[in-house]
Structure 1
């Protein structure tokens, strides 16, 4: 039997969730906000969004967000500089309804500093910390602040000092610090 057969792909593509931004080649910077966009397909009411690095799960962007085709994401300073990132979006109810960026995109660290500083109140007694560079973001009911100084001494160590504050309410917060050796410090 010979003849011409026309197969329609519309039935298959109509329900497909598809990442449209970032879809490869973008250069994004920590500390800035970007729109992640996708076609909704038949993913249902909610989707989850993951950041992939080198093809592997790296960080949650959102564990559940409205399937409206867009999500604003402020990239935290904790995201490493790399050019092998992709975004993966999956239905929260239909695990097989998923898509990832077609090609890699790049995330770089913000230059920060610039002589400006941010001031945050972190405890109920009003104590504050002045950050030369800082990222602040919230997820659910938790707030998270990361401050970083390039050449500083903290607890007897000199280098790149990072302070992190995770808090849920004025009466509950956790604090951690790290000091990385930095050869530019004298």
Structure 2
């Protein structure tokens, strides 16, 4: 990600690259000292964890970090939904990254960006997936990963899953 310049122009480049390949694309925004001892992994949907798993396994093998998983639910999620998501995340962690030091949080967040920013204060790097929104959807609803990249003053690694943009059919 560029430190300065036009973020929309950079996003168009990423969209073109992602549309033309069959593998995930990783975009990194460097800021400050690059350390990987404390990793924050915010996510909205459980399937994102499987997409991020190869990167997290590689990081766990090379740096032996502490990884915090932050599942961000809709702000009006019930206590039962929070508990069910917590159980699901515990199950995923028991199957994956079981030999890595992890912790997990499930938050019914009023502002997902603010929650990530507050939690990221205690981490060296943020690793997350990019939204699957393109064109007008992205313009109206935004991209959480792009907002995180613009707002945080620490390294952010964003995984863009492969595939064609929805509006390029």
Higher relative contact order (CA 8 A, sep 6+): 2
| Higher CA-based Rg | 1
Q: Is TM > 0.5 for Structure 1 vs Structure 2? A: no
TM-score, length-normalised on structure 1? 0.23
Which structure's residues are more often strand, by fraction?
1
Higher helix share: 2
